[in-house]
Amino acid sequence: MTTLTVYDTPRAKPATGFWTRDRKAGAVFLVLGVLATVLFTGLARSGAGARFVWGVSSVGAGLSIPAKAGAAIFGVVCALCGAALLTGRAERWLRWLAGLALVTLVLSFLCWQVAGQAMPLGSMAQATVKAALPLVFGALCGVLCERSAVINVAIEGQLLTGAFMAALVGTVAASAWAGLVAAALGGVFIALLLAVLAIRYLVDQVVLGVVLNVLALGLTGFLFTQLMQQHGDKYNFPPTFPAWHIPGLASIPIIGPALFQSNIFGYLAIVLVIVVHFALFHTRWGLRTRAVGEHPTAADTVGINVRGTRYRNVLLGGVIAGIGGASLTIGDVGSFTNNMTNGRGFIALAALIFGRWSPIGATMAALLFGFTTALAGYLPLVGSTIPSEFLNMLPYAATIVAVAGLVGRVRAPAADGQPYVKG
């Protein structure tokens, strides 16, 4: 996360001293686990059970856990995972133990919160995926741009332009498919500005991204107020994509409704994550992209067109982010509202960093952030005492913790943000 050049980071630097990455994570989880055990068990209503229902409604088959015992057990498991990591012997299991610790921590929390109530896991998963969808598209756009060393802070603007264009063109052409194409073009428009100004005119990419966000916000806001607000049926009434149920798969408990009852955007996201992951790590294009992002001079020496690769990736990212924006309008509510992305592009950026610039990691981070959104929507319904505002802060706080290297350090592609000038 620093401005080190490639020469400053020779190999994977071995962690020095006692406080290695897994020990730090272990200490954090140990403390959190103990806190959870004490706090959540103490606060949970005694005698009440927390009921987790598999389906989308709060009645039906499910699992009842005694709230106090559940909060205690899950808290202890979390603490044990932390302790195991703290010993420093479980380094190779870091990923699994950290994941288990996180899940049990959340479960312990839920046992306390859901006590005496029911939580429909199916609809929670659905809400999670729905909230994560634009983030996944945005983060994939970020992966393409930043792996080839163009910082993209304009994801927010691309999502917004995509959402707007989908609604506008979808309405005028009376076709959701036309809206989808227009959304991709809208994303490409912002991406083109980013690419030309960053790659050709060498403008600072972070500054540029911020200004492009302002531009997108102003353009869409202006045309929204002028055209859509006054003539809604003429400009802001696009057809939406229907949901496609996949027979069999759609009735899987919990994940069925979330993954296999969605519309085209849900399936597109799944396909794109797999394709981008495979392409990035298993194809010639991916190798070149990563080479350009890590060491453009070396890439140029072996004959890779550095600028061309960057242009292509940034524009491709624009297509993906534009489609992600469309998922908010023609994939969901069916109309555009001013500033409707509302910072999702920045969370996508956070997911990208949290997921360490990898497609799968970014998707996982997006789902994690989507889950906190779903939780923030659900908890007030069961009369939680936790203010939903604080749950909404979670993704941002988690990202700060991640970039500050408090739990492991994240490292951007080495040449990220540096324009390439031949010579």
Interface positions with another protein (CB under 8 A): 1-3, 149, 151, 153, 193, 197, 201-208, 210-212, 214-215, 217-219, 221-227, 230-231, 234, 338, 343, 346-347, 349-350, 353, 387, 389-390, 392-393, 396-397, 399-400, 403-406, 412-419, 421
* C-alpha 2, offset from chain centre: 23
Instruction: Give the closest residue to 184 by CA, choosing from 205, 198, 200, 170.
Output: 170
Token pair 């630097």 in the structure block, residue: 13
Closer Cβ to another protein, 59 or 207, answer by number:
207
Closer Cβ to another protein, 108 or 152, answer by number:
152
Closer Cβ to another protein, 94 or 172, answer by number:
172
Q: Which residues of 333-367 are buried (b: 16+ CB within 10 A; e: fewer)?
A: ebbbbeebbeebbbbbbbbbbbbbbbbebbbbbbb
Closer Cβ to another protein, 99 or 387, answer by number:
387
Q: What is the smallest separation between the CB atom of 66 and another protein, expressed in angstroms?
A: 32
Whether the Cβ atoms of residue 150 and residue 199 lie closer than 8 Å to each other? yes
DSSP code of residue 50:
E
Q: What is the smallest separation between the CB atom of 73 and another protein, expressed in angstroms?
A: 32
Q: What does the block give as tokens for 206?
A: 């972070």
Closer Cβ to another protein, 121 or 347, answer by number:
347
Instruction: Give the closest residue to 232 by CA, choosing from 341, 162, 335.
Output: 335
Closer Cβ to another protein, 67 or 353, answer by number:
353
* C-alpha 17, offset from chain centre: 33
Residue 189, amino acid = F
Q: What is the smallest separation between the CB atom of 270 and another protein, expressed in angstroms?
A: 27
Closer Cβ to another protein, 199 or 258, answer by number:
199
Instruction: Give the closest residue to 331 by CA, choosing from 401, 238, 215, 421.
Output: 238
CA angle centred on 20, ends 17 and 24, rounded to 5°? 125
Q: What is the smallest separation between the CB atom of 307 and another protein, expressed in angstroms?
A: 15
Closer Cβ to another protein, 275 or 393, answer by number:
393
Q: What is the smallest separation between the CB atom of 31 and another protein, expressed in angstroms?
A: 19
Q: What is the smallest separation between the CB atom of 394 and another protein, expressed in angstroms?
A: 10
Q: What is the smallest separation between the CB atom of 341 and another protein, expressed in angstroms?
A: 13
Rounded Cα–Cα distance for residues 290 and 284 (Å):
10
Q: What is the smallest separation between the CB atom of 215 and another protein, expressed in angstroms?
A: 4
Closer Cβ to another protein, 123 or 358, answer by number:
358
- Residue 88, Cβ neighbours under 10 Å: how many? 13
Count Cα atoms within 13 angstroms, Cβ side, for 165: 26
Whether the Cβ atoms of residue 134 and residue 344 lie closer than 8 Å to each other? yes
Rounded Cα–Cα distance for residues 419 and 105 (Å):
43
Residue 396: burial class (beta carbons within 10 Å; 0-12, 13-18, 19+): middle
Closer Cβ to another protein, 227 or 243, answer by number:
227
Q: What is the smallest separation between the CB atom of 291 and another protein, expressed in angstroms?
A: 16
Count Cα atoms within 13 angstroms, Cβ side, for 304: 26
Residue 64 belongs to what H/E stretch?
strand 62-66
Q: What is the smallest separation between the CB atom of 149 and another protein, expressed in angstroms?
A: 8
Q: What does the block give as tokens for 327?
A: 């998922």
